Amino acid sequence: MKHAFKTALAAAALVATGSVMADDRPGNDWVPIEQAIQTAKNAGYTQVYGIKADDDDWKGKGTKADGEKHKFRIDGRSGEMRKDERDD
């Protein structure tokens, strides 16, 4: 019973401080989502979908001109492409 109480208390503390949700929200100092989408288009994406904040990045998927599906990560603060690879 003590273990369950400690676990519940720790979870409540995380929620109260916002630590649980903070990693999935863009920070105040992030580039806007529109800029992240433009970065992906500049990298050859013709369609971008499923973009969301994830840790320190904008994370998304899309299709390139060759019709292949790819996934990418764009740094939330600098707006630079961190990862661009085929999505198997």
Q: What's the confidence (pLDDT) of residue 46? A: 97
Give the whole-angstrom CA distance, residue 34 versus residue 43: 14
Pick the CATH number of 23-86 from 3.80.10, 2.40.128, 3.40.50, 3.10.450: 3.10.450
pLDDT 10s digit of each residue in the chain, 88 long?
554 434 433 444 434 433 334 458 899 999 999 999 999 999 999 999 989 999 999 999 999 999 999 999 999 999 999 999 999 8
Enter the pTM of the model: 0.71
